[in-house]
Amino acid sequence: MDARAVIVASANGREALAEGMAVLRRGGTALDAVEACARIVEADPRDESVGLGGLPNLLGVVELDASIMDGTTLRAGAVGALQGFLHPITVARAVMDRLPHVLLVGAGAARFARESGAEPAELLTDAARRYWEDRLRALGESASDIGSRGELATLVRPVREHGTVNFIARDAKGGLASAVTTSGWALKYPGRLGDSPVIGAGNYADARAGAATCTGFGESALRCGTARIAVDRMARGISPRAAARSAVADASAIALKPFHVLALGADGAHAAASNVAGRSYAVIEDGMAEAVLVPRDHLHTAGPDGSPLSGELWDRT
Ligand code: ASP
C-alpha cells in the first residue's frame, strides 16, 4: 500500500516533527517516528509538562507516564509513575517489545528500565524545584517538612501548569502508531496515573480505523475511555474531526475542565478538537520542510450557571 506519510502532534510537539518525518523518509515505521519525536520533547527541559524539567508530585519527585501503540498489530506498551529515567517512551516501547505485559508502574517500571538499559537521569530541574517550593508555600507548607506530613490528600489542587505531548504518525505503508508522554498533573498525589499511560484512555491506535490521543484533564479520559471511543467512531465511518469533537463533548459533559483530542484517520485525514478557544495542533506531511500549526475545532462548553470554560484555570497544552 502506498500511503501519504503524515505526523500530527499536540502544539508542544511541533519542533520534533521534522525529525519524525526524517525517520519516515529513511524507511522507519510510524512506531519509530513517534518514539523519536517523543524522545526529543522528553529531553527538552523547557517543556515543564514532559520528561526532564517536568513538574513534580507533592513530594517533589518527578513521576513520568508514557504509552506507545502500534496500530498495525494492536501491540502496546506503557509505564506509569516512573522515576529517574530520561525516556519513559523508550521504556514503554521496551515493555511492548520484550514483555508479555502492557503496563508497568512505579518500582517495577524502574527496575525494568534499568534491566533494559534505559538512561537514568535526575529529572527535577532547578526551575521545577522552585515551582514546587513556591506552590507548597502558597499552600502553607514547606518543602523540607512535606515528607513527614501525615496527610497529603487535602493538598491536591487543580493547577494551571499542566500538559502532555501527543504524536500520531502514518507511514508510507499505511502503518499507524501513537505515543503519549507526560509528567502529569503538577503536585499530584504520589502514584497518581493520568490517562497518558492507559491504553484506551489517553492513547489508542488501530491502523484499520485511525488513532486518537488526549491532553488535558486526564481523569475525564480515564472515565470516558476517550481514545478508544474516538477510534471506534472512526471505525464506524465517522470522520476524525467529528470523532475528536464528540470525544471532547463527552469528556466536557462529565467535568468542565480543559480537554483536547487529536485524531488521525486510516486515510491520513486529521483533526483536533478542544473545549478551550484558540488552541492548535501541529502537522507535518511528506514534502514539507517543517511542521505547521493548525487550529483545533473549538467546542463551546459552559458550566451549569452558563459560565464559559476558562483555559486559565488548568493547562497550557
Ligand atoms: N492528560 C495529562 C494528565 O492527566 C495532563 C495534560 O495533558 O494536561 O496527566
- Average pLDDT (5-22) is 98
C-alpha cell at 294: 493548525
Q: Which of 48, 165, 195 is the best mutation target for the ligand 1 pocket, counting ligand atoms within 8 Å of the beta carbon and taking the most?
A: 195
184 CB near ligand 1 (under 6 Å) = yes
Q: How far is the CA of 18 from the centre of ligand 1 (A)?
A: 24
Hey, what's the torsion of the CAs at 40, 17, 80, 188, to 10 degrees? 80
Which residue in 74, 45, 294 sits closest to 183, CA to CA?
45
Q: Which residues contact 22 (CB under 8 A, 6 or more apart)?
A: none
* Contact assessment for residue 231 and residue 209, using Cβ atoms and an 8 Å cutoff: yes
Of 218, 183, 170, 217, which Cα lies nearest the Cα of 198?
Answer: 218
Residues 264/240, Cβ–Cβ less than 8 Å: yes
State the catalytic residues: 164
Q: Look at residue 167 and tell me whether its pLDDT is greater than 60.
A: yes
Q: How far is the CA of 2 from the centre of ligand 1 (A)?
A: 35
Of 54, 226, 207, residue with least CA distance to 125: 54
pLDDT at 170: 98
Single-letter residue type at 128:
A
Q: Which among 217, 261, 276, 317 is the best mutation to test ligand 1's pocket, defined by most ligand atoms within 8 Å of the CB?
A: 217
pLDDT tens figures, 127-163 = 999 999 999 999 999 999 999 999 999 999 876 657 8
Ligand 1 centroid to residue 260 C-alpha, Å: 10
pLDDT at position 122: 97
Instruction: Please give the pLDDT value at position 301.
Output: 75
Across 1-5, 164-168, 181-185, 276-280, least confident range: 1-5
Alpha carbons 96 and 295: distance in angstroms, whole number = 33
Looking at residue 157, its pLDDT comes to 85
Residue 233 CA to ligand 1 center (angstroms) comes to 23
**Mean pLDDT confidence for 28-56:** 97
Beta strand pairing call for 64-70 and 203-206: unpaired
- SS3 for 249? helix
- pTM for this predicted structure: 0.95
Mean pLDDT value of segment 46-58: 96
φ, ψ of residue 194 in degrees (nearest 5): -95, -160
User: 293-310: per-residue pLDDT in tens?
Assistant: 999 999 977 655 566 555
Residue 317 — pLDDT band, cuts 50, 70, 90? very low
Residue 315 pLDDT greater than 50, yes or no: no
Residue 181 has pLDDT above 70, yes or no: yes
pLDDT of residue 110: 98
The whole-number pLDDT of residue 296 equals 97
Quick one: pLDDT band at residue 2, thresholds 50, 70, 90? low
Domains along the chain with CATH numbers: 6-298 (3.60.20.30)
pLDDT, mean of residues 85-100: 98
Which atom, in ligand 1's list, is nearest to the CA of 202? Answer: 1
What's the confidence (pLDDT) of residue 72? 97
pLDDT at 311: 44
User: What tens digit of pLDDT does each residue of 221-276 get?
Assistant: 999 999 999 999 999 999 999 999 999 999 998 888 899 999 999 999 999 999 99
Condensed to tens digits (0 to 9), the pLDDT of residues 37-50 reads 999 999 999 999 99
> Is the C-beta atom of 80 inside 6 A of ligand 1?
no
